[in-house]
Amino acid sequence: MELGLRDTVVLVTGASRGLGAAIAVALAGEGAQVVAAARSKDALEEVAARGGGRISVAEADMRDEASTLALVDTVVSRYGRIDGLVNNAGIAPAGKFADQDPAIWRDAMQVNVIAPMLLAQAAGRHMIGQGGGRIVSVASTTGVRGKPYLVAYSTSKGAVVRMTEALAAEWAPRNVQVNCLAPGAFKTDAQSAVLESPDLLRRRVAKIPAGRMADPDELVPLACLLVSPRASFTTGAVFVVDGGESGKL
């Protein structure tokens, strides 16, 4: 099915590796002009090299609000519009809650909640002005069901889910669709400790009815669909992609 993404302009954050990189490359493959954003320019350039000339890069730090907001201005300055935003950048601090420094919670909220809200607001203003657009935020299954030792992460991703639902209802009359992906266990750098330990990997996979962890490319088709005009009546939805783990009793 043709997704209608050719020559649309999409900003993807956290695009230097993992899920963000896979989404950026796939969108470029569908004909979109992608701006891939992250802190590491070298890693971004490697991703851009896989984009067939349709990925440009932009350095940004989600901890810095000015840097975050400048991203949307950069996209519009380069291409004159912004049709899609994929809020993928995030951090997942782990540890015993009773021992954690509150600074860790604030950092997680800044990167995982405040930055996506700032980008959604800035991009949304342009989308409304041009007649529509689509925002997709990458949350987590821990934002749907809390997980021990990831309290700050779970809290922040739960906030992203609620933001998605509320903003979708507010902007549906303006033809801006807002949706959320909640991935489970994917083979990314964030899971390196699990992937490199046969024992940890065995225990992690035992919790997943599908019997394995997923490859980043397995999130890509849904992400591309939600960024496309084909999803024009889909808004406020949270799509769990976890091999059945959240549904297991």
Q: Mind listing the pLDDT tens digit for each residue in 44-63?
A: 999 999 999 999 999 999 99
Q: Name the band, by pLDDT with cuts 50, 70 and 90, for residue 17.
A: very high
Give the C-alpha separation, 220 to 27, whole Å. 9
| Active site members | 153
Q: Is the pLDDT of residue 213 over 90?
A: no
Distance (Å) of CA 153 to CA 39, 156, 189, 224: 20, 5, 16, 25
Binned at pLDDT 50, 70 and 90, residue 197 comes out as confident
- What pLDDT is attached to residue 61? 96
Residue 235 falls in which region: left (phi positive, over 0), alpha (psi -120 to 50) or beta? beta
**% of the chain beyond a pLDDT of 90:** 85
pTM for the model: 0.95
Decide: 140 and 245 in contact? Cβ < 8 Å.
Answer: no
pLDDT of res. 249:
54
Domains and CATH numbers, the chain: 9-183+219-239 (3.40.50.720), 191-215 (no CATH)
In degrees and rounded to multiples of 5, residue 15 shows phi and psi of: -95, 10
Task: Give the tokens for residue 83.
Answer: 């049709």
Read out DSSP for 105-160? Answer: HHHHHIIIIIHHHHHHHHHHHHHHHHT-EEEEEE--GGGTS--TT-HHHHHHHHHH
